[in-house]
Amino acid sequence: MILPIYLYGQPVLRKPTEEIENTPELKQFIADMYETLTQAEGCGLAAPQVGKPWRLFIVDGNELAEDYPECKDFKRTFINPELIEVSEDKCTYSEGCLSLPGISEKVVRPTTIVLRYLDEDFVEHEEEFTGFQARIIQHEYDHLEAHVFTDRISPIRKTFVRNKLTAIAKGKVGAKYKYKRN
Ligand code: NI
């Protein structure tokens, strides 16, 4: 089932998230998230973006594999993730977000990270990610911390996107996928 994607201005995107437990309904919810992500042609989706204040996100890098080969077949589920290390080395990529349609801005973030998380079977992993994989993960992790990527852009760029953000929050902007707005 395709879920509506909550757009900027929806309170759930600014709420703290809670750790989740393995329930019979969770597998179906995750399957719905993948279906939602695929139809929206995105590369990552966090639970708050579909209305749940939970510590869960999924990634599917196949959409970006042409530009970033490390993203080919990078399709994963991250449950109760914990960012335990970030590199001093930073890099800049242009980011967008399904909750912020029409906005794309350069964001500086650590190049390499170490993440502890549970997979779909609730098996714990501690794993290093780098390049665009690390980028997608950090963007999605931000959603669990009640951040969106425009929180991290330069002050000058913030003034440029302010009107766009306001328009989304006021329900004046739509998207080509199923969405929920004010
Ligand atoms: Ni996003």
pLDDT tens for each residue of 30-47: 999 999 999 999 999 999
The per-residue pLDDT for 150 is: 98
| 27 DSSP assignment | H
What is the Cβ-side half-sphere exposure of residue 17, based on CA atoms within 13 angstroms?
30
Q: How close is the Cα of 25 to the center of ligand 1, in Å?
A: 24
CA angle 119/122/125 to nearest 5° reads 55
pLDDT of residue 63: 84
Q: What percent of the chain has pLDDT over 90?
A: 94
Widest distance between CA atoms in the chain: 47
- Amino acid, res. 170: K
Residue ranges of domains in the chain: 5-180
What string of DSSP letters covers 94-115?
A: EE--TTSTT--EEEEEESEEEE
CB 2 within 8 A of CB 35: yes
- CA 147 to ligand 1 centroid distance, Å: 9
Å from CA of 27 to ligand 1 middle: 22
| Average model confidence (pLDDT) across the chain | 96
pTM value surpassing 0.85: yes
Distance from the alpha carbon of residue 49 to the mean position of ligand 1, in angstroms:
8
How many Å from the N-terminal Cα to the C-terminal Cα in the chain? 22
Neighbours of ion ligand 1 (CB under 5 A): 97
127 counts as catalytic: no
Q: How far is the centre of ligand 1, averaged over its atoms, from the C-alpha of 143 (Å)? A: 7
Is pLDDT above 90 for 182? no
Give me the CATH code for the 5-180 domain, please: 3.90.45.10
d(CA 3, CA 51): 9
Distance 146 CA to ligand 1 centre (A): 11
Q: Please give the average per-residue pLDDT across 117-131, as a whole number.
A: 97
Identified catalytic residue from 18, 82, 88, 140 = 140
